[in-house]
């Protein structure tokens, strides 16, 4: 039985005579260059990937002249932090306490890579413990997040202040009755804010 030549077969033969292999006819097509409008062969995978628009590298770079670069306006861009996915989500006190227990002592003292020989004072160490944060939150909840002097409620910056100084009364450091909620402006006006109490003791000893 003789093989009948079809139009498609004739097209394959005619294209193969031009120097294009037959297997390429099934994996690509002729397209026109966007720069010089010249017809060229483009592979199917390049067309699917958004390529196959220019016949040569020369036409590609000529087409780029006068156009903004892909990274224009992205100066200072930082990769989003993974911790931002947890913003707005509050953990329960039980979860915080468990996290504190598991991490307690793990990076303490010489085990910490930032260890510099014990420069941090004992007062600062206590102020960064979970018990201190828990005490501060309980004081704010009791006062309904309201400053006890100016009665401003819901301020973004609220401090839990010790009525009796933190340094002079160590037994009352975690006593809720010894705490009050103050805004930052009212807290700065108190006599025990910052180093004011320490300066007073220095002046008395000097006199």
Q: What is the mean pLDDT of each run of 10 residues along the chain (207 residues)?
A: 47 49 64 91 85 90 86 67 72 85 78 76 82 91 91 83 86 91 90 75 54
Q: What is the pTM of this model?
A: 0.45
Given this model, what pLDDT does residue 3 score? 44
Residues 6 or more apart whose CB falls under 8 angstroms from that of 40 comprise 30, 31, 32, 33, 55
Given a contact cutoff of 8 angstroms between Cβ atoms, the answer to whether 48 and 29 are in contact is no
pLDDT at 108: 75
Tell how strand 28-32 and strand 39-43 pair up. antiparallel
pLDDT confidence of residue 89? 78
pLDDT, position 203: 60
**Alpha carbon distance 34, 56 (integer Å):** 11
Strand locations in the chain (E): 28-32, 39-43, 158-162, 179-183
- pLDDT of 146 reads 92
Give the per-residue pLDDT at 179.
93
Contact by Cβ (8 Å): 142, 160: no
pLDDT of residue 138: 92
């Amino acid at each position: 039985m003789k093989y009948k030549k079809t139009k498609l077969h004739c097209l394959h033969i005619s294209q193969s005579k031009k120097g294009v292999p037959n297997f390429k006819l099934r994996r690509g097509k002729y397209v026109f260059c966007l720069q010089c409008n010249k017809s060229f062969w483009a592979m199917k995978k390049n067309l699917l990937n958004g390529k196959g628009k220019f016949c040569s590298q020369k036409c590609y770079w000529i087409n780029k002249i006068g156009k903004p670069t892909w990274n224009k306006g992205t100066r200072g861009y930082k990769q989003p932090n993974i911790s931002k996915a947890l913003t707005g989500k509050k953990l329960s006190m039980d979860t915080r306490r468990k996290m504190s227990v598991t991490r307690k002592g793990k990076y303490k003292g010489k085990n910490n890579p930032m260890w510099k020989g014990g420069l941090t004072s004992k007062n600062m160490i206590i102020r960064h413990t979970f018990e201190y944060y828990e005490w501060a939150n309980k004081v704010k909840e009791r006062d309904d997040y309201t400053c006890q002097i100016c009665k401003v409620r819901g301020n973004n910056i609220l401090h839990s202040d010790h009525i009796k100084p933190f340094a002079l009364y160590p037994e009352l450091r975690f006593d809720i009755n010894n705490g009050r909620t103050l805004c930052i402006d009212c807290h700065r006006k108190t006599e025990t804010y910052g180093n004011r109490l320490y300066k007073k003791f220095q002046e008395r000893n000097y006199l």
